[in-house]
Structure formats: structure tokens, C-alpha cells
Amino acid sequence: AAGVIQSPRHLIKEKRETATLKCYPIPRHDTVYWYQQGPGQDPQFLISFYEKMQSDKGSIPDRFSAQQFSDYHSELNMSSLELGDSALYFCASSAGQGLGEQYFGPGTRLTVT
């Protein structure tokens, strides 16, 4: 069965640079969620999209922006990167059927040096 795809899997950037993370949800899933997991921490919700519209927003810095495209893939854009942005970024998708089921991708490990 198809799973959530995230690219790249690993990314190394320098401070003040920009990074773009991509997420391809499971086919026919219309909802995408982004989570950030710092070292030794639990995942924290950043932002979500339903049918290409932002549906909820968590503790996402103003330096970050995201969108969902017509093919339902999503991109998380991160600018003016800081050392503290080093984390594992998960994307999850769901079919939006009210069943509380989210399927997680393998994550993108971002290292800011």
C-alpha cells in the first residue's frame, strides 16, 4: 500500500538559509498535517491543511510558511533558519472521514549548522 512520502529525507543547511520540505500524502487523502520533533522531545503540531485550505495552526514560527497544492501535496517553507530549527519534521495525511486516523511519513531530518 502507498504511504506518505517526504522529501528530502535529510537536509543540511546553514543559519539564515532557506529550506523547503515536501510531503506527498497517501492517494485520495485530502488532509495534511506537519509536526516538528526536536531532539529528545515529543512531536509538536505546526500546521494542517484540508482541501488546500489551512485548517489549523499550532506553534509555527512566522519564518515558516506552508501550503497545499491542487494535487494535495504540501510544502513547508522555512526561512532565516536558526540552530533551534534542527529537528525531525513529520508530515501525516488523513482521508478526513472523522476517524482520527493519521498516517505518518518517514520524516525529514533537518540539520542547521
37 vs 79, beta carbon nearer other proteins: 37
Is residue 23 a contact point for other proteins (CB under 8 A)?
A: no
Q: Binding other proteins by CB under 8 A: which of 1, 10, 42, 71?
A: 42
Tell me the three cell numbers of residue 55: 485548517
| C-alpha gyration radius of the chain | 13
CB of 66 closer than 8 Å to CB of 19: no
Look up residue 109 and give its DSSP letter.
E
Chain center to CA of 107: 8
Range 43-82, binding other proteins (CB under 8 A): 43-45, 48, 50, 56, 58
User: Facing residues of 92 across strands?
Assistant: 33, 104
Q: Binding other proteins by CB under 8 A: which of 60, 75, 106, 111?
A: 106
Residue 47 Cβ vs other proteins, minimum distance, rounded to whole Å: 9
AA identity, residue 92: A
Residue 55 Cβ vs other proteins, minimum distance, rounded to whole Å: 8
Q: How many residues does the chain have?
A: 113
Cα separation, 113 vs 102, in Å, equals: 32
Is residue 8 a contact point for other proteins (CB under 8 A)?
A: no
**What residue ranges bind other proteins (CB under 8 A)?**
31, 33, 35, 37, 41-45, 48, 50, 56, 58, 88, 90, 92, 94, 96-102, 104, 106-107, 109
